[in-house]
Structure 1
């Protein structure tokens, strides 16, 4: 996994710099994300490893499957990836591109797990508090996890804030056991 990210980084950086210069971050983001989803499919992965199909045909297939209309520069980017046999890197390129964009726009996506539905007001208050703590604009996605009993678990990247009853009980059990 680390190898793929390392290989994808220069391509993602180049795409990001070009998109930023064109003020077309959203358009590039959409195309790269869609291409990443196409390439992540098992059938597409198998097609990409077929030596009997020309690399340009593989790139055209990916573009066609995205359903997006690509600019000339985006097509060129796709063809460069194809020439270098790097089409399989699209999921990692999309992930890195999204990360670069989030850093530029100072945004962060956060997943909040709770044992009950959060109201819109609760989500806004949580977003404001996390926004102050992280110094970013926060986008919250909520999921239900009935095993939590109460409280919340907040996840973003490698940051996890476990404010759940289950988490507190686990910590208590660990401290009693030692």
Structure 2
């Protein structure tokens, strides 16, 4: 993942880039901690806790590269599958909701409509005309849906979908701000 490129400009620019990177890392770390806490509340013992511990360890070392972010969410996805083993990918609107149990039509930002995997609760919300409970993440502009928060969340979502079809996240989120960063 490309965080920030160093410009050949002044030290102030380099300092501002470093500060912006630190702020992004803090925001993404807070998302990882919240995801771990959310799943820990539903976890039992054994393999689920092992996966959550692995996620926490990667979250603690997150910062030197996006790889720890990917590995942390990959471990979170494993914990989610152990809690509710459906063989389906995570709920698109909030992966911590657990594996999808239904599919609904979704058209992000005027893009092409597509069938997306969702949890029971979001399926009910959408079929009754309510918006889904989308995972909001912190940004410079306040809380935003993760798929509008930019490339910093690419490895986060790729980790959630790593055990599904490799290109699934890119297909599902095409037409969003995050979509172009998922086709790796």
Structure 1-normalised TM-score? 0.27
Question: When you count strand as a share of all residues, which structure comes out higher?
Answer: 1
Question: When you count helix as a share of all residues, which structure comes out higher?
Answer: 1
Structure 2-normalised TM-score? 0.26
Q: Based on CA coordinates, which of the two structures has the bigger radius of gyration?
A: 1
